[in-house]
Structure 1
């Protein structure tokens, strides 16, 4: 076992790095599709007790875009790591970059010093050095790995993990595919960060204008008075990104084959830096059987939204022929595409992009009036503006200042909301309230409650928890006693959805299921202007990162450290 790392020394290194970035502004058949290029696309699978990974510079191209990338073992995504519950594993990671790097094992339960977050759980991997992660495999399911150093994740430094159960008791299937969703851009991630700091709408090509006929004049005036745009859905969009499935852009014509009558398990991982995807197979039903690697009672849907860092396992039994699988960006600026077919070479038509999404009053924290027009609140010049800008509505626990410019005055629980753009479709869409744990969780009532506000200044591209950016709070972590049971409510005071991830733990969503069957997750989408609640048993000792999994939000400050220690 490696010695514990000094928090003070290692965290100082991370603070410097973050500050500089801010300144820049039954085991079935398995499939893992391969491709061509300087960096192979989704190539390779590794298993066993000793696994070697090598991080290096590479070149990547798809659909007319090409540029620098970071590959692991020469591929993007890096190799699929297939493990088995109950085994021990040693992962030898060599860094061939000219800068420090790391790998975080997303969703895995392990000793904190092997969690892979520089400055929190270990110092990072220096250029030319090898670090060995070693830990027992205590779970099964679909997970993934990625860099937690700088902005390397954006450049291709990520890959999937599948852990086979010691004893499989889930729904039967004949074949499986891992589908890792991500993005590619030839623009250097530091340049993206700088452009977002200069203007948060830089990559948005779908903004409403003063003459747009899609809303009333009163509503346009109200949005203008708030200095916000109702099309501010994703910070980086299809104007800059090519959307990938297993490293393949739409032009790469990715094909996933099956035999007539087979049930196919799709392990869907959102390994993107900044994108929420809406996933569907037009004309085919999907049976959701796992969320974030944890089994749930099967739920039949035709579409689901998956936030950055979430995973869903679905089973489909497609009809004979070809079916298009679409991963459409939440702002509908582009999509990833693959073909699921029983007839190699056959193709189904790709649907057009749907109409862009427009935010509503509920997304502004006016949940109690979600069905009304903004104009209905205009009882005097600036009346709504005052309510949304009145930071005195925030509790004393939230530090106000230049990094906080908005409050959700009437935030509502939106666990039953399917995701931006999916509330008006006619087919069945997954909601968090549909999820129910397949096996009972131990029942313990929470011993205390904790509320955390997700805060930001969108114009200045500043993001935080409780008004404090990560560099300001690293010496004052969120503290839990070992084995303490806490009910945590996240209040989103911003108009953007945030996928919030806690390292080293699972928590149970307070989603309306009975307490023993609340679904377990490691990442939770908190909808704009809303709140979401989970129950946490803090039973993994050590220091753990807690952050928004939108990469540029995290690096702009929406991150904290959770420390779990015995109660004094």
Structure 2
């Protein structure tokens, strides 16, 4: 469109300021929050717009959203971001009528809920999706309690605001005692459309990494030595490549609020305050802490765990953690969610009254990946042989990481840059970026289920699944095969008990989610292994879980980093009766 060039005298500074103020005001009006997510809330249980009952109506539509001086198109539910809080009761039946007002198909996946596969909400796997102008009614019994969430499984709508929390109250007494609770939804937000972000990553894998090593870092002794840099450079690997999409484009949010907007949850000194924390991000794993205020973890992925005290924990994308804090002083406390690459953070406030703001901590020094993150943490282990390897990886120069026969099911090719030579079980390791902090950090090994595991049979078979990638080319897969390349379903027989081992052959953590099931993470806790639906696999490491395939149907299984899933790191899991085809 032609824009005339106006003479300089026709635009003065005062007019520009007035125009900017009007735009800012309009954007502020466009920021519609549900009552449970507004700053100054006394707690999510009494918000007037919490949706409950046997019939719940949701409308997916277009809105605008603004934060931190950025604004863009958003996909919202009932016109708000985050979406409405849904509160259900264990044992009830619920119908959720979802109307699509978008110009494209949409869907809702009920993340972590046990339900018939036809109600799971994954287009192309469990149902066709919801076309523009249509209404689809989900209907299922509520078979569990805890903290969960819901989001679109269509396109990249999840990254544009289509996500919201679910709280399910137990049918009997709640084993977690609290005086007040706050629902906390963490997310990342960019004014750049997610398809554009993905395109840029495919053009250059490190496009958003603004924290690469510098000469100043070398001279200050903060980064790798010159020799290490040459070795890593020869392997075409970057020890600062920790997050694909970073604070260079993302604003990090608590309940839709950035740091300056200061989401505030209220408390009275001495109360036991329960935070239901959900990571609804598209691409960001967060490290969560309340400086000066210890936390007691009481639930993970909606499942009660034996209380464990900590000062900080990492929450992978799509995980949930419930924690109890007990602030004794009438002062503001910071709730800090820091991106694991330290490219940004969001600070919210827990306060005795509205208007208080906790201190915003400085970003901590960004971490560097090491040999263990390459699956090479062995004493005196030499750097990889830069000759040989498989064709097509790293432009013909790949790490000779491991003989191909060590992982015969992996399809080698340009989409698989490396296979970790010595992946180790990292279940008890502090997660990425928290290896050296001077306070308590939660690990998966600290988690024990509150009640005994329901199925303690010994698995009858085992299955290895490799998390594979060429990070430089931004290609992601399971066992070297993208879903779009005709990946075969992962087949289970109904009721069988299987030990699944996830082996991370990449240098990035991956939150892996299985729909329709819970599994027991093998931690050495005997009959009290923590039950989860999403697990973050550390780089160069492996972990195992025991699965009872008790849900018939077709289920999605994928990395919950949205752009990894869309780039191929996804499979379909089928559960069939013995004798039936996959």
TM-score by length of 1: 0.90
CA–CA separation in structure 2 for the residues paired with 1:472 and 1:140: 38
CA–CA separation in structure 1 for the residues paired with 2:400 and 2:122: 36
CA–CA separation in structure 2 for the residues paired with 1:297 and 1:452: 30
Moved more, 489-498 or 342-351: 342-351
Equivalent pairs counted in the alignment come to 527
Residue of structure 1 in register with 2:523 after alignment = 511
2:123 counterpart of 1:123: no
1:425-436 to structure 2, matched below 5 A, reads 425-436=437-448
Aligned mate of 2:479, from 466, 482, 487: 466
CA–CA separation in structure 1 for the residues paired with 2:377 and 2:509: 15
Aligned residues of 1:393 and 1:409 also touching (Cα < 8 A):
no
CA–CA separation in structure 2 for the residues paired with 1:42 and 1:281: 25
CA–CA separation in structure 2 for the residues paired with 1:386 and 1:473: 26
| Cα separation, partners in 2 of 1:164 and 1:378, compared to 1, 3 Å | closer
Which string of whole-angstrom CA distances, capped at 9 and with x for unpartnered residues, describes residues 480-522 of structure 1? Answer: 00000000000000001000000000000001111x1111000
Aligned mate of 1:176, from 174, 178, 181: 181
State the shift of 1:418 in Å: 2.1
State the shift of 1:380 in Å: 7.3
State the shift of 1:388 in Å: 4.4
Aligned mate of 2:464, from 451, 459, 465: 451
Aligned mate of 1:162, from 127, 147, 167: 167
Residue of structure 2 in register with 1:262 after alignment = 271
Residue of structure 2 in register with 1:207 after alignment = 212
2:431 counterpart of 1:419: yes
CA–CA separation in structure 1 for the residues paired with 2:385 and 2:352: 62
| Cα separation, partners in 2 of 1:490 and 1:109, compared to 1, 3 Å | same
RMSD, aligned α-carbons: 1.7
Residue of structure 2 in register with 1:9 after alignment = none
State the shift of 1:322 in Å: 0.9
Aligned mate of 1:523, from 528, 534, 554: 534
State the shift of 1:344 in Å: 2.9
CA–CA separation in structure 2 for the residues paired with 1:472 and 1:381: 29
CA–CA separation in structure 2 for the residues paired with 1:155 and 1:526: 26
State the shift of 1:337 in Å: 1.3
1:11-50 to structure 2, matched below 5 A, reads 37-43=29-35, 44-50=49-55
Q: Which SS does the other structure have where 1:250 is aligned?
A: coil
2:304 counterpart of 1:292: no
Q: Which SS does the other structure have where 2:438 is aligned?
A: coil
Q: Which SS does the other structure have where 1:499 is aligned?
A: strand
| Cα separation, partners in 2 of 1:383 and 1:410, compared to 1, 3 Å | farther
Residue of structure 2 in register with 1:350 after alignment = 360
Aligned residues of 2:497 and 2:547 also touching (Cα < 8 A):
yes
Aligned residues of 1:394 and 1:407 also touching (Cα < 8 A):
no
2:256 counterpart of 1:247: yes
Unaligned runs of 5+ in 1: 1-34
Q: Which SS does the other structure have where 2:212 is aligned?
A: coil
Aligned residues of 1:265 and 1:314 also touching (Cα < 8 A):
yes
Residue of structure 1 in register with 2:41 after alignment = none
CA–CA separation in structure 1 for the residues paired with 2:485 and 2:549: 24
Aligned mate of 1:335, from 345, 350, 354: 345
Q: Which SS does the other structure have where 1:468 is aligned?
A: coil
Residue of structure 2 in register with 1:495 after alignment = 507
| Cα separation, partners in 2 of 1:502 and 1:357, compared to 1, 3 Å | same
Aligned residues of 2:151 and 2:162 also touching (Cα < 8 A):
yes
Aligned mate of 1:561, from 566, 572, 581: 572
Aligned residues of 2:53 and 2:88 also touching (Cα < 8 A):
yes
CA–CA separation in structure 2 for the residues paired with 1:161 and 1:127: 25
Q: Which SS does the other structure have where 1:46 is aligned?
A: coil
Unaligned runs of 5+ in 2: 1-26, 36-48, 390-396
Aligned residues of 1:367 and 1:529 also touching (Cα < 8 A):
no
Which string of whole-angstrom CA distances, capped at 9 and with x for unpartnered residues, describes residues 391-418 of structure 1? Answer: 6254221111111111100000000112
Aligned residues of 1:225 and 1:382 also touching (Cα < 8 A):
no
Aligned residues of 2:278 and 2:320 also touching (Cα < 8 A):
yes
Residue of structure 2 in register with 1:310 after alignment = 319
| Cα separation, partners in 2 of 1:378 and 1:526, compared to 1, 3 Å | closer
CA–CA separation in structure 2 for the residues paired with 1:410 and 1:508: 24
CA–CA separation in structure 1 for the residues paired with 2:550 and 2:540: 31
| Cα separation, partners in 2 of 1:36 and 1:393, compared to 1, 3 Å | farther
CA–CA separation in structure 2 for the residues paired with 1:464 and 1:383: 23
Structure showing greater Rg: 2
| Cα separation, partners in 2 of 1:88 and 1:279, compared to 1, 3 Å | same
Aligned residues of 2:384 and 2:401 also touching (Cα < 8 A):
no
Aligned residues of 2:431 and 2:538 also touching (Cα < 8 A):
yes
CA–CA separation in structure 2 for the residues paired with 1:38 and 1:507: 41
State the shift of 1:319 in Å: 2.1
State the shift of 1:471 in Å: 1.1
Residue of structure 1 in register with 2:392 after alignment = none
Aligned residues of 1:473 and 1:560 also touching (Cα < 8 A):
no
Which string of whole-angstrom CA distances, capped at 9 and with x for unpartnered residues, describes residues 353-379 of structure 1? Answer: 00001001000111334xx7xxx7249
